[in-house]
Structure 1
Amino acid sequence: MPKKPITNLEYSNKELESFFYFADETFGIDFREWYKAGEWTDHYRCYSLTFYRNVISNVGMSRMTVMMDGTAREAYQIGTVMTDEIRQGQGLATRIFKHLFKQHDTDGLPYFLACNEGVAPFYEQQGFSVQPEPELFVSVSGSASLLEHVDVDAEQWRRFKLESLPFSPRLYTTDDMHIWMFHYYQGMDEDVYRFDDVHVIYMIERSRLNLYAVLSPRPVDMRDVVARLSFEGITEIVFKFTPDLDDVEQRPSRDGQWMIRMNEGQFFPEGCRFPYLSKA
């Protein structure tokens, strides 16, 4: 039986490499470049059970500030929850959660996590409850000119976060540069485009345009953004954040759901979507 959980601050090189391999095998996520670039900061903490210096179960946690309708609230976002396939069902992740809660419940902060389909009952056992999140979209029809693709390096990506106004003003995060940079090293830099002095991050999926960010140091009219992205063949723009835009339609999300652990009430404002680029 493995000992009590350790944090990444206690990893040996072997345990660190084991974590990298484990995350890659479990989620297809490579943390190595992000780590080598110095982006694994104190804001991201892993709690792991190890066996002969191999990570066999893990829960990651990011402390950040969530801005909701102008009110700042610190919270813990949970991610990178994984257990070795041959050891599942032994209660290892539950042991880690109990240890984590013992360490941090006295902070009085809520916990939240993105829940994949089928695992909600496990998180409910840990004290989490579901908070539904809508998918936000607008239907469009147009023939706008395609935008200029922009090559972005790590420093430019960082400046986007530091210098841009919040593009999701009702619900956004601060103190989460490590997550913003993580998305850079996962390839989101390949989807940056520009019009005028505004940068946008989007992906096209058949007739659907998924919009992840609108980046500018000045206020941007989201109606103008929608018009600029209404390319021929695009029938809807789906927002991966909460836009400042009237007449946005809602439907049940296709991307799983959020689960919250807090004393009472909902965490995110009603009808809002948490920004994808702040998601661990």
Structure 2
Amino acid sequence: MNEFLLINDKKYSYICNYKDDSILRNSFNTLTEKTYGFNFKQWYEDGYWGEKYIPYSLLDGDNVVSNVSVNIIDFLILGEQKRYVQIGTVMTDEEYRGQGLCRALMERVIKEWEDKCDLIYLFANDSVLDFYPKFGFDKCDKYQYVINKIKKKKSGKIRKMSMDNEEDREFVYNMACNTIALSKLSMKNNASLIMFYCTSFMKNNIYYLEDYDTVAICDFDEDILYVQDVFAKKEVNLDNIINVMMKYEIKKVILGFTPNNSSFYEKILVNEDDTTLFIKMGKDNPFKTRDLMFPVLSHA
């Protein structure tokens, strides 16, 4: 049975966790596409939209007009296992903005999840930086790790993976499921979120390093190599992985995660558009005392 919310004298249906309802899922995807320029259609059809990504939405009729999603992510952080909740896909249809719909959803989500997790956080667009402090969120710094390098002569075999090939896709999924922690802050048991990136934004950036039985997700931009993540079932030397992936013109390497050994890296305060980190106050916040970043592939 639907629950109804009365907001500014208008009645909306309140619904959550409806991924298997094709009508509502399609409406959610339409609003996501309209707001952010992407959707979750392929992710669902490939079978990777699991139980840890939960949209909380307001409906006008059968149309999703406002949404706040919860992403439940287990992290291994500095050797300790934590359950964090990331809020994402926050959006309201243009015709319904300024009426308090998002506020009502945020209040519901926070109330439901605050006592079920170790931390609630989100990444905010620049246009709404004043919105989240109203709910007790505090702006936090995040740090990226960078190193100037040149390629050593010794290299190794690289195979570019095709995410349109089912065998390659399942191989990458299996590696993501069984990888050991190669960073100070790494996701556990959330290969489904990684596969969202691997089948969309980063589908052309996935490589298998045969000599190391390792999958690397990398991007090249002129003389910069971006190593977004590395998946391996046993301990590997990150420096060796980077060297294999480097082209001879590369001069700088930027990591999309916080390496276990950061002593050789330069630490840079991240200041990117539309990715300001906010963390809900009232719980232990490792970002206050450690120079960390959430892995790029954990952004929901």
TM-score greater than 0.5 by the shorter chain: yes
State the match for 2:290 in structure 1: 270
State the match for 2:174 in structure 1: 159
SS of aligned partner of 2:218: strand
Match status 1:238 vs 2:254: yes
Kindly indicate whether the alpha-carbon contact (under 8 Å) linking 1:209 and 1:234 is maintained by their aligned counterparts in 2.
yes
For 2:59 and 2:299, the matched residues in 1 are separated by 26
For 1:150 and 1:108, the matched residues in 2 are separated by 38
Alignment of 1:207-222 (within 5 A): 207-222=223-238
For 2:204 and 2:241, the matched residues in 1 are separated by 19
For 1:111 and 1:154, the matched residues in 2 are separated by 31
SS of aligned partner of 2:203: helix
State the match for 2:278 in structure 1: 259
SS of aligned partner of 1:157: helix
Kindly indicate whether the alpha-carbon contact (under 8 Å) linking 1:44 and 1:178 is maintained by their aligned counterparts in 2.
no
Kindly indicate whether the alpha-carbon contact (under 8 Å) linking 1:2 and 1:50 is maintained by their aligned counterparts in 2.
no
Match status 1:185 vs 2:199: yes
Please point out which of 62, 69, 78 is paired with 2:87. Answer: 78
For 2:252 and 2:233, the matched residues in 1 are separated by 26
For 1:27 and 1:38, the matched residues in 2 are separated by 22
In structure 1, the gaps of 5 or more residues are: none
State the match for 1:28 in structure 2: 37
Kindly indicate whether the alpha-carbon contact (under 8 Å) linking 1:6 and 1:48 is maintained by their aligned counterparts in 2.
yes
After TM superposition, give the deviation of residue 9 of structure 1 in Å. 2.8
Alignment of 1:1-280 (within 5 A): 1-3=10-12, 5-9=14-18, 12-107=21-116, 109-142=118-151, 148-152=158-162, 153-168=168-183, 170-195=184-209, 196=211, 197-245=213-261, 246-255=263-272, 256-268=275-287, 270-280=290-300
After TM superposition, give the deviation of residue 31 of structure 1 in Å. 0.8
Matched AA of 1:257: T
Matched AA of 2:63: N
SS of aligned partner of 2:204: helix
Task: Compute the RMSD of aligned alpha carbons.
Answer: 2.2
For 2:19 and 2:120, the matched residues in 1 are separated by 23
Kindly indicate whether the alpha-carbon contact (under 8 Å) linking 2:119 and 2:283 is maintained by their aligned counterparts in 1.
no
Kindly indicate whether the alpha-carbon contact (under 8 Å) linking 1:140 and 1:230 is maintained by their aligned counterparts in 2.
no
TM-score between both structures, scaled by the size of structure 2: 0.85
SS of aligned partner of 2:279: strand
Matched AA of 1:250: K
1:147–1:203 Cα change, 3 Å: farther
1:84–1:204 Cα change, 3 Å: same
How far does the alpha carbon of each residue in 1:89-110 deviate from its partner, in whole angstroms, 9 at most, with x for none?
A: 2111101011122322342542
Kindly indicate whether the alpha-carbon contact (under 8 Å) linking 2:146 and 2:266 is maintained by their aligned counterparts in 1.
yes
1:219–1:99 Cα change, 3 Å: same
Matched AA of 1:248: Y
TM-score between both structures, scaled by the size of structure 1: 0.90
Task: Give the fraction of aligned pairs with identical amino acids, expressed as a percent.
Answer: 25
SS of aligned partner of 2:32: helix
Matched AA of 1:21: T
